[in-house]
Amino acid sequence: MVHAPPRPAPGLPPVRVNLYSDTQSLPTPAMKAAMMAAEMGDEQAGLDPTVNALCDRMAKLLGKEAAVFLPSGTMCNQIAILTHCRPGDEILAHHTAHILTSEGGGGAALTGAQITGLPGEGGQFEVAALDAALRAKTRYSMPQVLVEVEQTANIGGGTVWPLAKLRAVAEWAHAHGMSTHMDGARLMNAAVAAGIPAAEMAVGYDSVWLDFTKGLGAPLGAVLCGSAEFIDAAWRWKQRLGGSMRQAGICAAACLYSLDHHVDRLAEDHANAKRFAAGLAQVPGFRVQTPETNLVFFEPSGAGITAEALSAKARARGIAFSVMGPRGRACMHLDVDRAGVDEAVGVIREIVGN
Ligand SMILES: *Cc1c(COP(=O)(O)O)cnc(C)c1O
Protein backbone atom coordinates (compact mmCIF):
# COMPACT_ATOMS: atom_id res chain seq x y z
CA MET A 1 0.00 0.00 0.00
CA VAL A 2 1.58 3.26 -1.08
CA HIS A 3 -1.57 5.19 -1.73
CA ALA A 4 -1.81 7.28 1.41
CA PRO A 5 0.46 8.69 4.06
CA PRO A 6 0.35 6.60 7.23
CA ARG A 7 -2.24 7.53 9.82
CA PRO A 8 -0.74 8.56 13.14
CA ALA A 9 -0.02 5.53 15.31
CA PRO A 10 -2.42 5.16 18.22
CA GLY A 11 -1.13 6.48 21.52
CA LEU A 12 0.79 9.41 20.07
CA PRO A 13 0.21 12.69 21.86
CA PRO A 14 -1.64 15.42 19.97
CA VAL A 15 0.50 17.63 17.72
CA ARG A 16 1.28 20.86 19.58
CA VAL A 17 3.51 22.46 16.96
CA ASN A 18 2.58 21.42 13.45
CA LEU A 19 5.47 22.15 11.09
CA TYR A 20 4.47 19.25 8.84
CA SER A 21 2.93 21.44 6.14
CA ASP A 22 1.36 24.84 5.61
CA THR A 23 -1.54 22.90 4.10
CA GLN A 24 -2.56 21.70 7.56
CA SER A 25 -3.52 25.07 9.01
CA LEU A 26 -7.18 25.26 9.98
CA PRO A 27 -9.62 28.03 9.00
CA THR A 28 -9.83 30.70 11.71
CA PRO A 29 -13.16 31.58 13.36
CA ALA A 30 -13.25 34.87 11.40
CA MET A 31 -12.63 33.01 8.14
CA LYS A 32 -15.45 30.58 8.99
CA ALA A 33 -17.75 33.53 9.70
CA ALA A 34 -16.91 34.99 6.27
CA MET A 35 -17.76 31.60 4.74
CA MET A 36 -21.10 31.47 6.53
CA ALA A 37 -21.97 34.94 5.25
CA ALA A 38 -21.05 34.18 1.61
CA GLU A 39 -23.49 34.92 -1.17
CA MET A 40 -23.76 31.84 -3.35
CA GLY A 41 -25.09 30.58 -6.66
CA ASP A 42 -24.47 27.86 -9.25
CA GLU A 43 -20.75 28.14 -9.97
CA GLN A 44 -20.91 25.79 -12.94
CA ALA A 45 -23.39 28.15 -14.59
CA GLY A 46 -21.25 31.19 -13.79
CA LEU A 47 -23.83 32.36 -11.24
CA ASP A 48 -21.87 32.29 -7.98
CA PRO A 49 -21.21 35.96 -7.16
CA THR A 50 -18.49 35.20 -4.60
CA VAL A 51 -16.58 32.95 -6.98
CA ASN A 52 -16.93 35.58 -9.69
CA ALA A 53 -15.63 38.27 -7.33
CA LEU A 54 -12.66 36.07 -6.40
CA CYS A 55 -11.81 35.38 -10.05
CA ASP A 56 -12.04 39.09 -10.96
CA ARG A 57 -9.81 39.99 -8.06
CA MET A 58 -7.25 37.29 -8.84
CA ALA A 59 -7.04 38.23 -12.53
CA LYS A 60 -6.17 41.78 -11.40
CA LEU A 61 -3.79 40.62 -8.67
CA LEU A 62 -1.82 38.45 -11.10
CA GLY A 63 -2.12 40.86 -14.04
CA LYS A 64 -4.05 38.55 -16.39
CA GLU A 65 -7.29 38.90 -18.38
CA ALA A 66 -9.28 36.12 -16.77
CA ALA A 67 -9.31 33.52 -14.01
CA VAL A 68 -11.01 30.26 -13.05
CA PHE A 69 -11.65 28.86 -9.56
CA LEU A 70 -10.51 25.26 -9.07
CA PRO A 71 -10.59 22.88 -6.11
CA SER A 72 -6.81 22.46 -5.83
CA GLY A 73 -3.43 23.57 -7.04
CA THR A 74 -2.83 20.18 -8.60
CA MET A 75 -5.90 20.68 -10.76
CA CYS A 76 -4.57 24.13 -11.78
CA ASN A 77 -1.32 22.54 -12.94
CA GLN A 78 -3.01 19.63 -14.70
CA ILE A 79 -5.59 21.81 -16.45
CA ALA A 80 -2.84 24.23 -17.50
CA ILE A 81 -0.84 21.33 -18.96
CA LEU A 82 -3.94 19.95 -20.69
CA THR A 83 -4.64 23.40 -22.14
CA HIS A 84 -1.08 24.18 -23.28
CA CYS A 85 -0.03 20.73 -24.54
CA ARG A 86 -1.08 17.79 -26.68
CA PRO A 87 -0.05 14.13 -26.38
CA GLY A 88 3.64 13.69 -27.23
CA ASP A 89 4.58 17.25 -26.27
CA GLU A 90 7.50 18.03 -24.00
CA ILE A 91 7.47 20.28 -20.94
CA LEU A 92 10.69 21.69 -19.47
CA ALA A 93 10.67 22.09 -15.69
CA HIS A 94 13.10 21.75 -12.79
CA HIS A 95 13.71 18.12 -11.87
CA THR A 96 12.19 18.71 -8.42
CA ALA A 97 9.07 20.47 -9.80
CA HIS A 98 5.74 19.51 -8.21
CA ILE A 99 4.33 18.60 -11.66
CA LEU A 100 7.16 16.09 -12.06
CA THR A 101 7.49 14.68 -8.54
CA SER A 102 4.14 15.00 -6.81
CA GLU A 103 1.14 14.83 -9.13
CA GLY A 104 0.93 11.09 -9.69
CA GLY A 105 2.38 11.34 -13.19
CA GLY A 106 -0.60 13.51 -14.16
CA GLY A 107 1.19 15.15 -17.09
CA ALA A 108 1.68 11.73 -18.67
CA ALA A 109 -1.56 10.15 -17.49
CA LEU A 110 -3.92 12.95 -18.50
CA THR A 111 -2.24 14.93 -21.28
CA GLY A 112 0.28 12.40 -22.56
CA ALA A 113 3.02 14.99 -22.18
CA GLN A 114 6.58 14.25 -21.14
CA ILE A 115 8.22 16.40 -18.51
CA THR A 116 11.98 16.78 -18.77
CA GLY A 117 13.65 17.64 -15.47
CA LEU A 118 16.26 20.38 -15.67
CA PRO A 119 19.20 20.70 -13.26
CA GLY A 120 19.86 23.77 -11.14
CA GLU A 121 20.38 24.97 -7.56
CA GLY A 122 17.51 25.60 -5.18
CA GLY A 123 14.75 24.33 -7.44
CA GLN A 124 15.60 26.90 -10.11
CA PHE A 125 17.31 26.59 -13.48
CA GLU A 126 19.30 28.97 -15.64
CA VAL A 127 18.70 29.86 -19.27
CA ALA A 128 21.84 27.79 -19.99
CA ALA A 129 19.94 24.69 -18.81
CA LEU A 130 17.14 25.54 -21.24
CA ASP A 131 19.68 25.95 -24.03
CA ALA A 132 21.13 22.55 -23.17
CA ALA A 133 17.66 20.95 -23.30
CA LEU A 134 16.69 22.49 -26.63
CA ARG A 135 16.06 19.97 -29.39
CA ALA A 136 16.28 20.47 -33.11
CA LYS A 137 12.82 20.75 -34.62
CA THR A 138 12.81 17.52 -36.60
CA ARG A 139 10.28 14.75 -37.05
CA TYR A 140 12.36 12.68 -34.60
CA SER A 141 12.10 15.01 -31.64
CA MET A 142 9.19 15.80 -29.36
CA PRO A 143 7.58 19.17 -29.86
CA GLN A 144 8.82 21.37 -27.00
CA VAL A 145 5.85 23.47 -26.04
CA LEU A 146 5.95 24.58 -22.41
CA VAL A 147 8.42 25.89 -19.83
CA GLU A 148 7.32 25.71 -16.20
CA VAL A 149 8.67 27.46 -13.09
CA GLU A 150 7.65 27.20 -9.45
CA GLN A 151 7.45 30.39 -7.41
CA THR A 152 8.45 29.68 -4.66
CA ALA A 153 10.39 26.50 -5.49
CA ASN A 154 9.10 24.07 -2.86
CA ILE A 155 11.61 21.21 -2.77
CA GLY A 156 14.29 23.72 -3.70
CA GLY A 157 13.87 25.15 -0.19
CA GLY A 158 11.07 27.67 -0.68
CA THR A 159 13.43 29.82 -2.73
CA VAL A 160 12.27 32.94 -4.54
CA TRP A 161 13.04 33.21 -8.24
CA PRO A 162 14.57 36.66 -8.84
CA LEU A 163 12.56 38.81 -11.22
CA ALA A 164 15.35 39.03 -13.80
CA LYS A 165 15.65 35.27 -13.98
CA LEU A 166 11.88 34.82 -14.33
CA ARG A 167 11.88 37.31 -17.19
CA ALA A 168 14.89 35.72 -18.90
CA VAL A 169 13.24 32.27 -18.77
CA ALA A 170 9.94 33.60 -20.16
CA GLU A 171 11.72 35.49 -22.94
CA TRP A 172 13.73 32.42 -23.85
CA ALA A 173 10.57 30.29 -24.01
CA HIS A 174 8.67 32.73 -26.18
CA ALA A 175 11.68 33.26 -28.44
CA HIS A 176 11.64 29.49 -29.03
CA GLY A 177 7.90 29.34 -29.67
CA MET A 178 7.06 27.81 -26.29
CA SER A 179 4.43 28.85 -23.75
CA THR A 180 5.14 29.57 -20.09
CA HIS A 181 3.43 28.37 -16.93
CA MET A 182 4.07 29.48 -13.36
CA ASP A 183 3.13 27.16 -10.49
CA GLY A 184 2.41 29.89 -7.96
CA ALA A 185 1.33 27.65 -5.10
CA ARG A 186 3.26 30.01 -2.78
CA LEU A 187 3.43 33.05 -5.06
CA MET A 188 2.25 35.42 -2.33
CA ASN A 189 5.06 34.20 -0.06
CA ALA A 190 7.47 35.15 -2.84
CA ALA A 191 5.80 38.52 -3.38
CA VAL A 192 5.87 39.38 0.34
CA ALA A 193 9.46 38.16 0.83
CA ALA A 194 10.80 40.04 -2.19
CA GLY A 195 8.54 43.09 -1.82
CA ILE A 196 7.55 42.73 -5.47
CA PRO A 197 3.89 42.61 -6.59
CA ALA A 198 2.73 39.16 -7.69
CA ALA A 199 1.61 40.60 -11.06
CA GLU A 200 5.19 41.76 -11.72
CA MET A 201 6.48 38.27 -11.06
CA ALA A 202 3.86 36.82 -13.42
CA VAL A 203 4.78 39.10 -16.34
CA GLY A 204 5.71 36.87 -19.29
CA TYR A 205 3.87 33.82 -17.91
CA ASP A 206 0.95 32.72 -20.06
CA SER A 207 -0.67 30.95 -17.13
CA VAL A 208 -0.17 31.33 -13.39
CA TRP A 209 -2.05 30.21 -10.33
CA LEU A 210 -2.17 30.78 -6.59
CA ASP A 211 -3.03 28.23 -3.91
CA PHE A 212 -5.24 29.35 -1.03
CA THR A 213 -4.54 26.29 1.11
CA LYS A 214 -0.85 26.93 1.77
CA GLY A 215 0.18 29.94 3.85
CA LEU A 216 -3.07 31.73 3.10
CA GLY A 217 -4.92 29.28 5.32
CA ALA A 218 -8.15 28.60 3.39
CA PRO A 219 -9.69 25.11 3.56
CA LEU A 220 -9.67 24.60 -0.21
CA GLY A 221 -9.34 26.35 -3.52
CA ALA A 222 -6.87 27.69 -6.03
CA VAL A 223 -7.26 30.15 -8.89
CA LEU A 224 -5.71 29.75 -12.35
CA CYS A 225 -5.21 32.91 -14.42
CA GLY A 226 -4.36 33.62 -18.03
CA SER A 227 -5.71 35.19 -21.21
CA ALA A 228 -9.48 35.11 -21.77
CA GLU A 229 -8.94 32.53 -24.51
CA PHE A 230 -6.76 30.34 -22.26
CA ILE A 231 -9.28 30.43 -19.41
CA ASP A 232 -12.09 29.57 -21.83
CA ALA A 233 -10.19 26.44 -22.83
CA ALA A 234 -9.33 25.71 -19.19
CA TRP A 235 -13.04 25.87 -18.31
CA ARG A 236 -13.76 23.06 -20.75
CA TRP A 237 -11.18 20.88 -18.95
CA LYS A 238 -12.63 21.89 -15.59
CA GLN A 239 -16.00 20.64 -16.81
CA ARG A 240 -14.56 17.44 -18.27
CA LEU A 241 -12.64 16.57 -15.12
CA GLY A 242 -15.54 17.25 -12.79
CA GLY A 243 -13.97 20.37 -11.34
CA SER A 244 -17.03 22.50 -12.02
CA MET A 245 -18.77 23.12 -8.74
CA ARG A 246 -22.09 24.46 -7.47
CA GLN A 247 -22.36 26.75 -4.42
CA ALA A 248 -18.58 27.13 -4.32
CA GLY A 249 -18.90 30.67 -2.98
CA ILE A 250 -18.75 29.21 0.51
CA CYS A 251 -15.11 28.33 -0.25
CA ALA A 252 -14.33 31.35 -2.43
CA ALA A 253 -15.34 33.50 0.56
CA ALA A 254 -12.52 31.94 2.58
CA CYS A 255 -10.10 32.72 -0.26
CA LEU A 256 -11.26 36.35 -0.43
CA TYR A 257 -10.95 36.57 3.34
CA SER A 258 -7.38 35.27 3.13
CA LEU A 259 -6.46 37.90 0.54
CA ASP A 260 -7.72 40.60 2.91
CA HIS A 261 -6.26 39.25 6.14
CA HIS A 262 -3.57 36.64 5.56
CA VAL A 263 -1.19 38.10 2.98
CA ASP A 264 0.77 40.69 4.97
CA ARG A 265 1.13 38.27 7.87
CA LEU A 266 3.14 35.88 5.67
CA ALA A 267 6.09 38.05 6.76
CA GLU A 268 5.62 36.60 10.27
CA ASP A 269 5.97 33.09 8.85
CA HIS A 270 9.16 34.12 7.10
CA ALA A 271 10.52 35.60 10.33
CA ASN A 272 9.58 32.40 12.17
CA ALA A 273 11.35 30.35 9.50
CA LYS A 274 14.52 32.39 10.01
CA ARG A 275 14.24 31.98 13.77
CA PHE A 276 13.75 28.22 13.47
CA ALA A 277 16.67 27.91 11.04
CA ALA A 278 18.94 29.98 13.28
CA GLY A 279 18.01 27.78 16.27
CA LEU A 280 18.72 24.54 14.41
CA ALA A 281 21.92 25.87 12.86
CA GLN A 282 23.37 26.04 16.38
CA VAL A 283 22.97 22.29 16.84
CA PRO A 284 26.38 20.75 16.05
CA GLY A 285 26.22 18.53 12.98
CA PHE A 286 23.00 20.04 11.59
CA ARG A 287 23.08 21.45 8.08
CA VAL A 288 20.37 24.05 7.60
CA GLN A 289 19.43 25.73 4.33
CA THR A 290 18.93 29.45 4.92
CA PRO A 291 15.20 30.05 4.38
CA GLU A 292 13.98 32.70 1.96
CA THR A 293 10.29 32.22 2.78
CA ASN A 294 8.28 29.88 5.03
CA LEU A 295 10.01 26.53 4.41
CA VAL A 296 13.07 25.32 6.31
CA PHE A 297 15.02 22.31 5.06
CA PHE A 298 17.62 20.77 7.33
CA GLU A 299 19.78 17.68 7.39
CA PRO A 300 20.55 16.27 10.84
CA SER A 301 22.75 13.32 9.82
CA GLY A 302 25.94 15.08 10.98
CA ALA A 303 24.50 14.93 14.51
CA GLY A 304 24.27 11.15 14.27
CA ILE A 305 20.52 10.90 13.64
CA THR A 306 18.51 10.52 10.45
CA ALA A 307 15.71 12.91 9.59
CA GLU A 308 13.33 9.95 9.79
CA ALA A 309 14.40 9.00 13.32
CA LEU A 310 14.42 12.60 14.48
CA SER A 311 10.93 13.13 13.12
CA ALA A 312 9.59 10.04 14.93
CA LYS A 313 11.13 11.15 18.22
CA ALA A 314 9.90 14.72 17.81
CA ARG A 315 6.41 13.51 16.92
CA ALA A 316 6.31 11.43 20.10
CA ARG A 317 6.77 14.76 21.88
CA GLY A 318 4.10 16.62 19.96
CA ILE A 319 6.28 18.25 17.31
CA ALA A 320 5.57 17.38 13.67
CA PHE A 321 7.71 18.03 10.61
CA SER A 322 7.98 16.20 7.30
CA VAL A 323 10.83 14.09 5.97
CA MET A 324 12.09 14.22 2.38
CA GLY A 325 14.88 11.70 1.97
CA PRO A 326 17.81 12.73 4.17
CA ARG A 327 16.23 16.12 4.89
CA GLY A 328 13.59 17.34 7.27
CA ARG A 329 11.22 20.09 6.16
CA ALA A 330 9.55 22.47 8.59
CA CYS A 331 6.74 24.65 7.28
CA MET A 332 5.66 27.88 8.91
CA HIS A 333 2.02 29.00 8.74
CA LEU A 334 -0.66 30.80 10.65
CA ASP A 335 -1.14 28.06 13.24
CA VAL A 336 2.52 28.29 14.32
CA ASP A 337 3.71 31.19 16.45
CA ARG A 338 7.08 32.23 17.75
CA ALA A 339 6.65 30.32 21.00
CA GLY A 340 5.87 27.19 18.98
CA VAL A 341 9.03 27.67 16.96
CA ASP A 342 11.11 27.99 20.12
CA GLU A 343 9.45 24.93 21.62
CA ALA A 344 10.18 22.88 18.48
CA VAL A 345 13.83 23.95 18.46
CA GLY A 346 14.12 23.11 22.17
CA VAL A 347 12.65 19.63 21.69
CA ILE A 348 14.92 18.87 18.73
CA ARG A 349 17.98 20.04 20.72
CA GLU A 350 17.00 17.78 23.61
CA ILE A 351 16.54 14.80 21.29
CA VAL A 352 20.05 15.13 19.87
CA GLY A 353 21.38 15.62 23.41
CA ASN A 354 22.50 19.17 23.03
C1 LIG B 1 1.06 22.17 -2.79
C2 LIG B 1 1.66 22.39 -4.14
C3 LIG B 1 0.95 22.09 -5.30
C4 LIG B 1 -0.39 21.40 -5.29
O5 LIG B 1 -1.38 22.12 -4.65
P6 LIG B 1 -2.64 21.35 -3.97
O7 LIG B 1 -3.57 22.48 -3.69
O8 LIG B 1 -2.10 20.67 -2.77
O9 LIG B 1 -3.17 20.41 -4.99
C10 LIG B 1 1.54 22.38 -6.51
N11 LIG B 1 2.75 22.94 -6.58
C12 LIG B 1 3.46 23.24 -5.48
C13 LIG B 1 4.80 23.88 -5.62
C14 LIG B 1 2.96 22.96 -4.22
O15 LIG B 1 3.68 23.24 -3.14
CA 284 to centroid of ligand 1, rounded, Å? 33
Q: Is the pLDDT score of 6 beyond 70? A: no
Nearest to 30 by CA among 218, 159, 191: 218
> What value does the mean pLDDT of the chain take?
96
Residue 354: pLDDT band (50, 70, 90) is low
Q: Are 161 and 182 in contact (CB under 8 A)?
A: no
CA 14 to centroid of ligand 1, rounded, Å? 26
Tally Cβ neighbours within 10 Å of residue 353. Answer: 9
Q: Is the pLDDT score of 8 beyond 90? A: no
Q: Is the pLDDT score of 2 beyond 80? A: no
Q: Are 28 and 36 in contact (CB under 8 A)?
A: no
pLDDT digits (tens, 9 = 90+) for 13-23: 999 999 999 99
Contact partners, residue 45, CB within 8 Å, separation at least 6: none
Q: Is the pLDDT score of 212 beyond 90? A: yes
Q: Are 82 and 111 in contact (CB under 8 A)?
A: yes
Residue 10: pLDDT band (50, 70, 90) is confident
With the C-alpha atoms ordered 102, 103, 109, 113, is the resulting torsion angle positive or negative?
Answer: negative
Residue 9: pLDDT band (50, 70, 90) is confident
Pocket test for ligand 1, best of 79, 98, 150, 186 (most atoms within 8 A of CB): 98
Residue 258: pLDDT band (50, 70, 90) is very high
Question: Which domains, ranges and CATH numbers included, belong to the chain?
Answer: 17-26+265-353 (3.90.1150.10), 38-261 (3.40.640.10)
Which of 95-104, 141-150, 164-173, 345-354 is predicted least confidently? 345-354
Residue 274: pLDDT band (50, 70, 90) is very high
Q: Is the pLDDT score of 1 beyond 90? A: no
Q: What is the pLDDT of residue 11?
A: 85
Pocket test for ligand 1, best of 69, 94, 186, 214 (most atoms within 8 A of CB): 214
